[in-house]
Amino acid sequence: MGIIMELRDLLSALRAGWWLPMLGLVVAAGAAIGLSLAQTPMYTSSSRFFVSTAESTSPSDVYQGSQFSEQRLTSYAQVLEGGFLPAG
């Protein structure tokens, strides 16, 4: 009968003080959410682009290849900045 009384006392104490662990849980969750929202997000990424044209020997082909590469790099920059590729 001594064990039953101890169990009743324990249950009575839990009923009377249930709000203390709950309060601790709410305060800890609130602090965690507050810290999470206060931190600055850090995102990192890296990319490498390789732009190449066909091997050419004539000055006009070299110039056209240079123009093509420059236009391609410009479109890559637009994509990286969140823009869209130009039509064509």
Residue identified by tokens 């039509």 is 87
Q: Where exactly are the structural domains of the chain?
A: 48-88
Check if the beta carbon of residue 80 is closer than 8 Å to that of residue 48: no
List pLDDT tens digits, range 8-37.
888 888 888 888 889 999 999 999 999 999
CA distance 81 to 53: 24
Q: What is the mean pLDDT of residues 51-71?
A: 83
Between 16 and 83, name the one with better pLDDT.
Answer: 16
pLDDT at 87: 58
> What's CA 28's distance to the chain center, in Å?
24
Long-range interactions of 22-27: CB distance < 8 A, separation 24+: none
**68 burial via Cβ count (<10 Å: 0-12, 13-18, 19+):** middle
Beta carbons within 10 angstroms of residue 83's beta carbon: 10
List pLDDT tens digits, range 72-82.
888 888 887 87
